[in-house]
A and B are shown apart, each in its own frame.
Chain A
Amino acid sequence: MSHRPGRGTAQSTGAQFLSPAILARIDNLELLARTVVDGFLNGLHRSPYLGLSMDFAEHRPYMPGDDIRRIDWRLYARTDRHYIKLYEAETNANFAVLLDISRSMSYGSEGITKLDYARYLAACLTYFSRQQRDRVGLVTFDHEIVTYVPPSARNLDLCLHALDRADPGRPGSLGRPMVKIAEILNRKGILVVLSDFYEEAEEAVSAVRMLAGRGHDVIVFHILDPAEIDFPFETPSSFEDLESGERIPVIPGKLREVYRKLVGDHSARLEDAFTGGRIDYTLLNSSHPLDFALFRYLVARERKSRTR
């Protein structure tokens, strides 16, 4: 745990952590997700947050046009008023992972790429959500949508398969894919965005906030490789942009501090902007165990359930 993102750092949960590099040895994503999620849940079984997230019921007065089968007759017996019981239908929320598979996500300095890390995290979250009886879906995108798995209770395998086949290749941008995602995901749900956000903070936030504006609960994970955060290079070299192919000669020792400050400022602006837009933002170091990400997800979901 040598690298901790500044504002996104969370406290240790005491759970059993598995290194992403070790997880990378598991080829089957479902097995991987199960391994992570089960272990995570076992570590959190006494947590006060358990069961509070999705088991929420609500009554509202009956309105003409409502299905009479949903009237809570027991409450009518006590109050002589018609109330409709809504909890069963509402708690099975839509859950979708929006995974950035642009070329820059293929970078990894310590055995696992950012995309792999994001892939594992997406699998874990999808599996976890499916355990919560949510309908799960997946959207992969670079500068446009590459794969779309609509949210469904039966699409866990599809999602895991699509994740498995996700292949980075093209440059990415958030604006255009987010617009399309907002169009195709009509039903409100929980959207988890996994990206390295290599574009201006204002543009990225603007694109993601569009989803929030459609009523989705959006949780953003900003995934960076430790080398992108710490810039540990020493030898003067030509640095090549993975997406554009552009090269510039760089003497790392002379610009490391400036680079770190620029990256820190970028993530800080993203966090400020997302938070201001009621979007949960978390900066993830791809060398950190996935448990931390899951923990952050649960915290975010719990917060959203409170504010609903």
Chain B
Amino acid sequence: MPLQFLVPLFLAGLAAVAIPIFVHLTRKQRAKVVEFPSLMFLERVPFHAESRRKIHHWLLLLARALAVILIVAAFSRPFLRDSDVASGATSGPRERVVLLDRSYSMGIGDHWERATDAAREATQQVGPLDRLSLVTFASSAEMVIRSTVDRTRFASALDTLRVSDQATSYGPALKLAQTILEESELPAKELVLIGDFQRTGWTGEEGVSLPEGTIVTPVAVGDEAPENRAVSAVSLPRQRFSGRDRVTPTARITRLGGDAPEDIEVVLEVDGRELQRSTVQLPAEGSASVTFEPFTLAERHTRGSVRIATEDALVPDDAYYFVSSPGRALSVQILEDAQNRGASSLFLQRALSISAENVFDVTVRATGSLGPDDLTGTNVLVVNDRPLAATSATALRSFVEEGGGLLVVLGERISWPTELGDLLPGAFTGPVDREEGRGGRLGYLEYDHPVFEVFRGPRSGDFTGARFFRARGLTVEPSDSSTVLARYDDGSVALAERLLGEGRVLVWTSTLDAFWNDLAVQPVFLPFVHQLVRYASGRTETLASFQAGQVLDVSDARAMETAGLGEAVGALAGEDELVTVTPSGATAPLPAGEGPRFLRLEEQGFYEIRPPGGAGARPLVVAVNVEPSEADLAALDTEEVVASITAGPRSTALPGSENARTELLRREDQERRQSLWRLLLMGAFGLLALETVLSNRVSRTVRRGSHATA
């Protein structure tokens, strides 16, 4: 904390310190002069020279010299830089919030060390009354320290921080900082934003507005963006071959930077063993795909990764992890009329049999009576235009309530037992012909519903080509459990849904063959049927991997289905304590109990979930990848950030940081805040008053001595 002067030129005035010394040495000459005939003999006495140089009133001299020094120092406008005193002498205590970027791009080179150094430096510039808050952020923000005056605690917390595997997002952190600053009662507010200022983390719509007067100090630790290669995505299409699933991984490799094509070697690893190695040529600022040879999924929770053989500056995005299990097909049971066997379900059966991943296991039965065991293992029951016996009511209700899917196709032969009337979203009526013109069309589709969501985009499926010549009427009373998903162009219901228990009931008011409509010969028929059955089954899409920063509720069956851990839902229901092993090898318990059991997926790699002790079956595995957008290292202009979150242009940078291009506080500001010159002048006046008292006392003493001599 060096002492600096705003106008150091005034320090030349320190030469004036010689004045009181000179006065002291010559004072006696002016005080009393004795005329003497000749100094011939006095000059021969050596003693007088010593007495001339001797200072007799040290306290007086000290007071005078100090007063001169203080006055000169006051005019030089001193200020203590980056010190406790300096901070204490400012206009008031400060609330300083330090935002520290922990995104994985901070792991490049020495960015993280520089960032933590800048954070420590920010702590050294605060006074005893100032409060410090530390907020780390990546894709989310975390309050590490809230408004503490304990710098040691702050520094200790800083020492424990590491770079995360998450991407940058400024919004949450700035919101949190805004909250801290707004709730602070301290008069001065400062925000120190430390990071590499990646453009990908800034949307420009953060909606942050810091309190007025907040001083924002951006500290950019990133250098010029280095060339970066990344495995941005891996797709895992499957084929069924000899009853086993074969996966053909295709990885997308992107390259940011560079100026010439480059051959990149990419490695596929499965269960920790290198399976294949392939070379792909990457253009500058471009991307390429590499497709590996298929491999057979032998075990559940097979771990796989695709990584670039040669690491670059940003390591985490050089690998992509995934988990894959042998597929478990959806069991679909179709009930059709025995008299029309094979005809009404032909299109449906064929459509379900065409699947790249063989997800549907279709069984066609010509019975209208269902016993309790007939639906065991069935995921979806399709009542395809046939009467259903009243005896089936109990089995069907329990099937639906326990999570089964029911698709009812209302054709010419359908009849529905009254006991099961509440299963349907509404009561259906007789057939209605649409013979005018070329028949009716689907006029309304609920694209927000999962059934039609995939058709939402342009060229994603055209339902308008289908002609509907006959359909049954369906009266649906809209409620929380009954919803109309599609209507014909005349407003009548085409598809309706009812939620019952854990299951879903879908009612299609026309046929799924080419008798009442020609939808079955439209290209959209196949994906439409797949979507219907998938949705009815309630099975969600299984993710091969998650992204760092996401949270998995182990007790949530749907979430576990998504994670590909659906078969373990029962085991994870909360009865037993579980242990999680993170990619870095740390273990954490997932305590048993009711309610959510959150697993925070913070690290890149494979998370294992298993009972304590680890004995028994193959552990459940979840793959976690970094967000690929972070691979774009293009930097943001710090001024843009500052301007968008502050009302005024009061942006400065921390001194000492290599990227600090401007002063934290202008020297004038710092000096003005401290106003040390006032203290110095007051001290000088005090000393001058003391000098007056002392000199009067000395004068009286001298006069008394003179009179005594006379």
B3 located at the interface, meaning its Cβ lies under 8 Å from any Cβ of chain A in the complex = no
A255 located at the interface, meaning its Cβ lies under 8 Å from any Cβ of chain B in the complex = yes
Contact of A239 among B30, B36, B702, B708 (CB under 8 A): B36
Quick check: which of A24-32, A134-142, A182-190, A229-237 contacts chain B, the rest being far away?
Answer: A229-237
Closest Cβ of chain A to B380, distance in Å, is: 120
Q: Check if B35 sits within 8 Å of A107, measured CB to CB.
A: yes
The interface residues of chain B lying within 8 Å CB-to-CB of A105 are 37
A14 located at the interface, meaning its Cβ lies under 8 Å from any Cβ of chain B in the complex = no
The interface residues of chain B lying within 8 Å CB-to-CB of A237 are 28, 31-34
Chain A contacts with B in 232-280, Cβ cutoff 8 A = 233-244, 246-251, 254-255, 258-259, 262-263, 266
**Interface core residue of A239, A240, A246 (most chain B CB under 10 Å):** A239
The interface residues of chain A lying within 8 Å CB-to-CB of B438 are none
Docked complex Cα distance between A294 and B660 (Å): 100
Nearest chain B residue, comparing its CB with the CB of A107: B37
Q: Check if B34 sits within 8 Å of A238, measured CB to CB.
A: yes
A198 located at the interface, meaning its Cβ lies under 8 Å from any Cβ of chain B in the complex = yes
Chain A contacts with B in 111-135, Cβ cutoff 8 A = 114
Q: Check if A241 sits within 8 Å of B32, measured CB to CB.
A: no
Q: Check if B40 sits within 8 Å of A198, measured CB to CB.
A: yes
Given the known interface contacts A234-B708, A238-B29, A241-B36, the answer about A259 and B51 at a Cβ–Cβ threshold of 8 Å is no
Nearest chain B residue, comparing its CB with the CB of A247: B29
Closest Cβ of chain B to A194, distance in Å, is: 14
A104 located at the interface, meaning its Cβ lies under 8 Å from any Cβ of chain B in the complex = yes
B259 located at the interface, meaning its Cβ lies under 8 Å from any Cβ of chain A in the complex = no
The interface residues of chain A lying within 8 Å CB-to-CB of B43 are 248
Interface size on B, residues (CB 8 A): 27
Closest Cβ of chain B to A133, distance in Å, is: 37
Docked complex Cα distance between A241 and B709 (Å): 21
B38 located at the interface, meaning its Cβ lies under 8 Å from any Cβ of chain A in the complex = yes
The interface residues of chain B lying within 8 Å CB-to-CB of A196 are 37-38
Chain B contacts with A in 216-269, Cβ cutoff 8 A = none
The interface residues of chain A lying within 8 Å CB-to-CB of B36 are 107, 228, 239-242
The interface residues of chain B lying within 8 Å CB-to-CB of A238 are 28-34
The interface residues of chain B lying within 8 Å CB-to-CB of A254 are 47, 51
Q: Check if A250 sits within 8 Å of B29, measured CB to CB.
A: no
Given the known interface contacts A234-B705, A234-B708, the answer about A250 and B42 at a Cβ–Cβ threshold of 8 Å is yes
B666 located at the interface, meaning its Cβ lies under 8 Å from any Cβ of chain A in the complex = no
Q: Check if A248 sits within 8 Å of B39, measured CB to CB.
A: yes
Docked complex Cα distance between A175 and B555 (Å): 128
Docked complex Cα distance between A13 and B32 (Å): 42
A217 located at the interface, meaning its Cβ lies under 8 Å from any Cβ of chain B in the complex = no
Docked complex Cα distance between A107 and B40 (Å): 15
B706 located at the interface, meaning its Cβ lies under 8 Å from any Cβ of chain A in the complex = yes
B459 located at the interface, meaning its Cβ lies under 8 Å from any Cβ of chain A in the complex = no
Interface size on A, residues (CB 8 A): 34
A291 located at the interface, meaning its Cβ lies under 8 Å from any Cβ of chain B in the complex = no
The interface residues of chain A lying within 8 Å CB-to-CB of B44 are 262
Nearest chain A residue, comparing its CB with the CB of B45: A255
Closest Cβ of chain B to A232, distance in Å, is: 9
Nearest chain A residue, comparing its CB with the CB of B708: A234
Chain B contacts with A in 45-77, Cβ cutoff 8 A = 45, 47-48, 51-52
Q: Check if A259 sits within 8 Å of B45, measured CB to CB.
A: yes
A225 located at the interface, meaning its Cβ lies under 8 Å from any Cβ of chain B in the complex = yes
Nearest chain A residue, comparing its CB with the CB of B29: A238
Docked complex Cα distance between A139 and B252 (Å): 130
The interface residues of chain A lying within 8 Å CB-to-CB of B45 are 255, 258-259, 262
Given the known interface contacts A240-B34, A240-B35, A247-B29, the answer about A262 and B709 at a Cβ–Cβ threshold of 8 Å is no
Q: Check if A235 sits within 8 Å of B706, measured CB to CB.
A: yes
Contact of A235 among B48, B51, B705 (CB under 8 A): B705
Contact of B709 among A114, A234, A240, A258 (CB under 8 A): A234
Contact pattern, A 207-230, Cβ under 8 Å of B = 1, otherwise 0: 000000000000000000100100
Docked complex Cα distance between A228 and B36 (Å): 8
Q: Check if A239 sits within 8 Å of B39, measured CB to CB.
A: yes
Given the known interface contacts A248-B42, A259-B42, A262-B41, the answer about A239 and B52 at a Cβ–Cβ threshold of 8 Å is no
Docked complex Cα distance between A243 and B702 (Å): 28
The interface residues of chain A lying within 8 Å CB-to-CB of B706 are 235
Contact of A263 among B35, B41, B52, B705 (CB under 8 A): B41
Given the known interface contacts A248-B48, A251-B47, A262-B44, the answer about A239 and B37 at a Cβ–Cβ threshold of 8 Å is no
Q: Check if A242 sits within 8 Å of B709, measured CB to CB.
A: no
Contact of A104 among B33, B37, B41, B708 (CB under 8 A): B37
Q: Check if B42 sits within 8 Å of A236, measured CB to CB.
A: no
Contact of B52 among A242, A248, A255 (CB under 8 A): A248
Docked complex Cα distance between A251 and B56 (Å): 12
Docked complex Cα distance between A193 and B486 (Å): 150
Docked complex Cα distance between A198 and B44 (Å): 13
Closest Cβ of chain A to B25, distance in Å, is: 9
The interface residues of chain B lying within 8 Å CB-to-CB of A234 are 705, 708-709
The interface residues of chain B lying within 8 Å CB-to-CB of A236 are 28, 51
Docked complex Cα distance between A251 and B54 (Å): 11
Docked complex Cα distance between A236 and B40 (Å): 18
Chain B contacts with A in 536-561, Cβ cutoff 8 A = none
Chain B contacts with A in 652-710, Cβ cutoff 8 A = 702, 705-706, 708-709
Contact of B42 among A104, A114, A242, A255 (CB under 8 A): A255
Closest Cβ of chain B to A111, distance in Å, is: 15
Given the known interface contacts A235-B32, A248-B43, A259-B45, the answer about A104 and B51 at a Cβ–Cβ threshold of 8 Å is no
The interface residues of chain B lying within 8 Å CB-to-CB of A225 are 37
Closest Cβ of chain A to B700, distance in Å, is: 14
Docked complex Cα distance between A196 and B36 (Å): 13
Docked complex Cα distance between A237 and B42 (Å): 12
Docked complex Cα distance between A267 and B103 (Å): 102
Contact of A249 among B51, B708, B709 (CB under 8 A): B51
Docked complex Cα distance between A263 and B38 (Å): 12
**Interface core residue of B34, B37, B52, B708 (most chain A CB under 10 Å):** B37
Closest Cβ of chain A to B597, distance in Å, is: 95
Docked complex Cα distance between A107 and B32 (Å): 17
The interface residues of chain A lying within 8 Å CB-to-CB of B30 are 238
The interface residues of chain B lying within 8 Å CB-to-CB of A246 are 39
Closest Cβ of chain B to A158, distance in Å, is: 29
Contact pattern, A 83-107, Cβ under 8 Å of B = 1, otherwise 0: 0000000000000000000001101
The interface residues of chain B lying within 8 Å CB-to-CB of A251 are 47-48, 51
The interface residues of chain B lying within 8 Å CB-to-CB of A263 are 41
Nearest chain A residue, comparing its CB with the CB of B47: A255
Closest Cβ of chain B to A109, distance in Å, is: 10
Docked complex Cα distance between A254 and B50 (Å): 11
Q: Check if A249 sits within 8 Å of B52, measured CB to CB.
A: yes
Chain A contacts with B in 48-76, Cβ cutoff 8 A = none
Docked complex Cα distance between A196 and B28 (Å): 28
20 contacts between A and B (CB under 8 A): A104-B37, A107-B35, A235-B706, A236-B28, A237-B28, A237-B34, A238-B28, A238-B30, A238-B32, A239-B33, A242-B37, A248-B42, A248-B48, A248-B52, A251-B48, A255-B42, A255-B45, A258-B47, A259-B45, A266-B41
A residues adjacent to B (C-beta < 8 A) = 104-105, 107, 114, 196, 198-199, 225, 228, 233-244, 246-251, 254-255, 258-259, 262-263, 266
| Further pairs besides A250-B48, A255-B42: 18, Cβ < 8 Å | A104-B37, A104-B38, A114-B37, A228-B37, A234-B709, A235-B702, A238-B29, A238-B34, A240-B33, A240-B34, A241-B36, A248-B39, A249-B28, A249-B29, A249-B52, A251-B47, A251-B48, A259-B42
Per CB-CB distance, the 7 closest pairs between chain A and chain B, nearest first, are A234-B709, A104-B37, A238-B29, A198-B38, A107-B37, A262-B41, A237-B32
